[in-house]
Amino acid sequence: MDKKSIRKNILEARNNLDTHEKKKMDNIIEKKFLNSKEYICAKNIFIYISYGSEINTKNIILKAIKDNKNVYVPRTEIKTRNMDAVNIISFDKLIRNAYGILEPSNEELSIDPNELDLIVVPGVAFDNNKGRMGYGAGYYDRYFSKISEKYYKRINKVALAYDFQIIDHVPMDKNDVPVDSIITTSKIIL
């Protein structure tokens, strides 16, 4: 299957999840993530704010703030498809971007990507080789290219996914960056 078909099928399945079932799965994934060594050892965490049918990351963000982690969330520039990581201490000052996703305003300063310890990466589909297919705009792949080779291996790239988002093979281009691990309801792919 091509990327477009995979995206369509998985997003359709994710959008049709039963609300109660989704919440149960989100809680399982959240607990696994919060108990992971990647989370426990991280001081500077870059994590997306969940939107639509994505796994809920808002509780993770609030817990990380409570745990005195430095929490950074994406701020995007839609025209250039550029993304920065901006520190937050609550959801209070965030604004909705053109897609309706919460993000910090342009006045807030961003962190140097090399200072991050952990990046929680969104995605539509993944495979057992840690291949990742995003939404198609390339924000994260471009962001990863800003990380110096010296720090690249030190920064953990973790994805959160429902089991049905793990497919046999994710078609990847030369610019597509795999993740280091994937946490699902039933397993952790390392």
For the annotated binding site for substrate, the residues are 49, 54
Strands 132-133, 166-167: pairing is unpaired
Q: Where are the alpha helices (DSSP H) in 16-99?
A: 19-34, 37-41, 58-66
Binding residues for ATP, by number, are 3-7, 132-140
Of 91, 166, 85, whose CA–CA distance to 123 is shortest? 166
Strands 118-121, 44-47: pairing is parallel
Binding residues, by number, are 3-7, 49, 54, 132-140
CA distance to 7, 107, 175, 179, 184, per residue, from 161 (Å): 14, 32, 21, 12, 5
d(CA 164, CA 9): 10
d(CA 23, CA 55): 9
CB burial class (10 A; 0-12, 13-18, 19+) of residue 47? Answer: buried
What is the Cβ-side half-sphere exposure of residue 127, based on CA atoms within 13 angstroms? 12
Radius of gyration of the chain (CA): 16
